Structure 1
Amino acid sequence: MTAVRSEKSQTARSAGPGSGAANVRSRNGRGPLRHRLSAWDRRYSPYLYISPFFILFAIVGLFPLLYTIWVAAHDWDLIMGQGEFIGGENFAHVLGQRAFWVALRNTLSIFVLSTGPQVLAAIIIAYMLDTHLRARTFWRMGVLLPYVVTPVAVALIFSNLFSQRFGLVNTVLENIGFDPVGWQSEVLPSHIAIATMVNFRWTGYNALIFLAAMQAIPRDLYEQSEIDGAGRVRQFLSVTVPMLRPTIIFVVITSTIGGLQIFDEPRMYDQYGRGGTDGQWQTLTIYLYELGWTRSDFGLASAVAVLLFGLIVAIGIINFTITRRIASSEAKR
């Protein structure tokens, strides 16, 4: 009996004081449940944190896109509503219209005339703001003021400046001996005028983006180049511009997306808002607006919207390909 009692006491000591609590937790099932909850929290909580973005994107981004494709595949009238399913007839009808190709030409032309000069001017302005200027905060806020002005106000001001009869630009040209330009009757001058509006409004905003990127460039690079005898121009071309390459690509991509969807400036360029008497500056967005709200044909308007979306995606893929090639070439160096 004494030996049996001693063995039980040794077993109880070897089990330890916490074994009873462990047995109670195991019997109640609280230990494994808490462990599972902790594992689920580590595994799924990151997805819960980012889920609001995807939920909002699905509601306000993905669903309207899919619904637009659905509308484009139907004979859809503004008043009568959804009609019969017609497949790709709306796309074929739009692609067969001369007005669509004219609007596409105008959109690409205004985009080219605005994006290139806008990026170059923004880089130069940012470089000037990055130097030791007096009242730098004042000048940095000053370049952002055109972006704060509403697009309608900018369009009204520039439409008066480029007016053919009483515009300030033509008045100045006549005073210095040049013939007046048909800023609202000819194709290229109207595109230049609208591109000027876009550049006026967005150059300062992009300049601040470039300025933030320039301030992140290590100053040691400028000191080393100065020791090697490089001047301001050589430093700008050999140090600043190569270090700004990722930011330049970002600005070009965002300017591409915004430039292909331009609406406010050409819409308010004249009092009629239809892109000129012969569609001289009618963009794809104005053409889409005219189909949807003037002709009350939501099917054709949705087809134009889908085609515009495809154009933006195609140019985005081209930009992505160029970005990969530039990055790979830089890595090889």
Structure 2
Amino acid sequence: MKTKKYSKKSSDRLSGYLFISPFFILFGVFGVFPLLFTSFLSFHKWDILGTKEFIGLQNYKLLFTDPLFWKALGNTFSIWVLSTIPQLIAALIIAFLLNQAFLKAKDIFRLGIFMPNITSIVAVAIVFSAMFGTKYGLVNYALSFLGIDPINWSGSYFGTHVVISTMVMWRWVGYNAIIYLSGLQGISNDLYEAATIDGASKFQQLLHITIPLLRPVIIFTVLQSTIGGMQIFTEPLLFGKGGSNQGLTITLYLYEEAFTRFSFGYAAAIAWMLFFIIIIFSLLNIFLTRKIRSA
């Protein structure tokens, strides 16, 4: 009896492992292996055709002295600041408005605000390139009514960053707004009713009720937007990095090193440096979060 009971437990345990094994197999093939192989490759010089040449830390030493890498890093931070901070603020305001009782046809508005996230990024890039065209763009046409000369958006540092940041904002503000909206719907209406009776305005309710209770959701979106902002690739690739590389981001630089100059070892070093930067930002966010909670 004990043997049968033991064999049944072993069989149940084995069945459980078999059921969850597809996830771990796929994770190992597409997650762990590329990570380990990229780490191994970052210590080599390889153009994908010849043999790998072990060069130690030379790729990382070159990285710290490469002015183009530091320019790409600065561009990435600049675009991240211009896109992420206004995006999260706008998403929170939109979610607050969508959660109001007086708003009719809420489902249509929710669908409309989420549509940019599922729109083809190629189509988005084409539309925004036309809008921010130097000679015939709609934005410069609107600015002409204000007496402002046409801006060469693709030829200036600030203009390129504004266009790319606008594309990122337009695409992701609805996604974050839906996440905030789901968090808002978990807040009791009794709090808002009591605040209304006490004479609190909508802005005061947003500041003193909504934001404190949405803190875990806000932390999640900040962390997620930080990770995504450090990996901006499609928007600068389609819009163009500009003649002075003012639109060059770290991931775009990594792509060029790997698939244009075929320097896969150096590209792997860039990928790992980006990984460490994201880890540092994530730890900084966690540290600030704990400080805010303790306060």
Give the TM-score taking structure 2 as reference length. Answer: 0.94
Among 117, 122, 125, the alignment partner of 2:94 is 125
Aligned equivalents of 1:189 and 1:249: distance in 2? 30
- The alpha carbon displacement at 1:111 in A equals 0.6
Q: Which one of the candidate residues 36, 51, 57 is aligned to 1:88?
A: 57
The Cα shift of 1:183 comes to 1.0
* Alpha-carbon separation, structure 1, partners of 2:8 and 2:180: 45
CA shift at 1:70, angstroms?
0.9
2:72 is the alignment partner of 1:106: no
Partner of 1:97: 66
Please state if 1:309 is matched with 2:278: no
2:264 maps to which of 275, 291, 298: 298
Looking at structure 2, the residues matched to 221 and 235 of structure 1 have their Cα atoms a distance apart, in angstroms, of 9
1:189 aligns with 2:159: yes
- Distance in 2, matches of 1:257 and 1:57, equals 20
Q: Percent identity?
A: 46
Residue aligning to 1:209: 179
Q: CA RMSD in A?
A: 1.8
Gaps of 5+ in 1: 1-30
Match of 2:219 among 243, 249, 253: 249
Q: CA deviation at 1:299?
A: 0.9
C-alpha distance 47-249 of structure 1, shift in aligned 2 (>3 A): farther
Q: Which amino acid aligns with 2:42?
A: A
The amino acid across from 1:326 in the alignment is I
Equivalent of 2:168 in 195, 198, 202: 198
Amino acid corresponding to residue 74 of structure 1 in structure 2 = H
Residue 288, structure 1, aligned to residue 254, structure 2:
yes
CA distance in 1, matches of 2:14, 2:195: 50
CA distance in 2, matches of 1:175, 1:78: 54
One-letter amino acid of the structure 2 residue matched with residue 138 of structure 1? I
**Secondary structure at 1:177's aligned position in 2?**
coil
Higher relative contact order, structure no. (Cα contacts within 8 Å, ≥ 6 residues apart)? 2
Give the residue type in structure 2 aligned to 1:104. Answer: L
Distance 1:265 1:136 in 2: 30
- What secondary structure sits across from 2:45 in the alignment? coil
**Which residue of structure 2 aligns with residue 16 of structure 1?**
none
Preserved contact between residue 90 and residue 299 of structure 1 (Cα < 8 Å): yes
Per-residue displacement from partner, 1:146-178 (whole Å, max 9, x unpaired)? 111111111111112112222111122123201
Instruction: State the partner residue of 1:15.
Output: none
Distance 1:157 1:249, change over 3 A: same
Contact 1:129 1:136 in 2 (8 A): yes
Q: What is the deviation of 1:228?
A: 2.5
Quote how far apart the aligned CAs of 1:49 are.
5.4
Per-residue CA shift, 1:87-119, capped at 9, x if unaligned? 110111122111000000000110111110000
Change (3 A) 1:45 1:225: farther
| CA-CA distance at 1:324 after TM superposition | 2.6
CA contact (8 A) 1:78 1:292 kept: no
Correspondence for 1:260 among 230, 233, 258 = 230
Q: Distance in 2 between matches of 1:51 and 1:228?
A: 56
Aligned length: 294
Output the CA distance in 2 between the equivalents of 1:57 and 1:252: 25
Q: Is the 8 A contact 1:76 1:299 kept in 2?
A: yes
In structure 1, the residue matched to 2:131 is: 161
Deviation string, structure 1 residues 55-90 (Cα, Å, up to 9, x no partner): 32222111101100111111111332x322111101
Which letter maps to 1:283? T
TM-score (norm 1): 0.83
Give yes or no for the alignment of 1:279 onto 2:255. no
Q: Indicate the residue corresponding to 1:59 in structure 2.
A: 29
Partner Cα separation in structure 2 for residue 239 and residue 44 of structure 1: 49
CA deviation after TM superposition for structure 1 residue 192, in Å:
1.0
**Please, which runs of 5 or more residues in structure 2 have no aligned partner?**
none
**Structure having the higher Rg:** 1
**Alignment CA distance shift 1:259-1:51 (3 Å):** same
